[in-house]
Amino acid sequence: MTRTLQTVADVADLEDFGFGPRTLTWWAVVGFMLIEGMGFVLAIGAYYFLLPNENVWPPTAPVPPLFWSTVFTVLGIASEIPNVWAKRAAKRLDLRGVRIALSLAILFGLAMLVVRWFEFDALNVLWQRSAYGSIVWALLALHTVHMLTDVYDSIVLLAIAFFEKFDGRKFGDTSDNAMYWHFIVWSWVVLYLVVYWTPRWL
């Protein structure tokens, strides 16, 4: 007995890319953010674990100044404008919009890294001086590493957008990259409150 094969559906014309939960890369980025978010939670837990054991907080340094950290926070929130633009342009498959928005987002990211340098210098405590110094530097260092990762990724995407074929999957990558920048910006807002405002609220 011979069996004949029947075509159930022709999927040849379906796109080989997508956005959001339909793609594996989106889930990978979400998983990455969950892992890194847990790292922040553990580090913040260490910060508050140390606090009750001291008579004054910070125990070995003046209260960290607000200027550079506030400038960083303002730049971070403002960077969401080109970041959202890049995400929306990617979903429209708008290559020109992606190029412009990514360029602006990268400039914001580089400016934030410069400000972070001054922020480290203004902490009034070195990482090896005390447990307080160690955890504060660890929180900022963790966040800085994540920033460097995303700025580098954005630069690579921008180079591809200008010099190589930017196919649908690259538009999807741009959208996922923008999602990760959301995580960087808003996780920093939490860290800003922990590091700079906890000593002022006590």
136 vs 2, residue with greater confidence:
136
Quick check: is 189 in a domain?
Answer: yes
Residue-averaged pLDDT of the chain: 90
Check whether 72 has a pLDDT greater than 80: yes
> Looking at the whole model, is its pTM more than 0.75?
yes
The domain tally of the chain equals 1
Residue among 22, 29, 15, 31 nearest 174 (CA): 29
- What is d(CA 167, CA 159) in angstroms, rounded to the nearest whole number? 13
Q: Give residue 55's pLDDT.
A: 86
Residue 190 lies in a domain: yes
Quick check: is 18 in a domain? no
Residue 6's pLDDT band, with cuts at 50, 70 and 90, is: low
Rounded average pLDDT over 165-185: 92
Domain membership of residue 9 (yes or no) is: no
Length reported for the chain: 202
The pLDDT value given to residue 169:
85
Q: What is the mean pLDDT of residues 26-38?
A: 94
Best CA proximity match to 50, nearest among 128, 136, 121: 136
In sequence order, the 6+-apart residues with CB closer than 8 A to the CB of 177 are 86, 150, 153, 154, 157
Q: What CATH number is attached to the domain comprising 141?
A: 1.20.120.80
Element spanning 51, H or E: none
Please give the structure tokens belonging to residue 163: 């010099």
Task: Report residue 184: phi and psi, to 5°.
Answer: -65, -45
Query: What residue numbers bound the domain in which 176 lies?
Result: 26-51+87-201
Phi, psi of 3 (to 5 degrees): -110, 140
pLDDT-based confidence at 14, cuts 50/70/90?
Answer: very low
Give yes or no for a contact between 91 and 171, defined as CB atoms under 8 angstroms apart.
yes
130 belongs to a structural domain:
yes
Tell me if 187 is assigned to some domain: yes
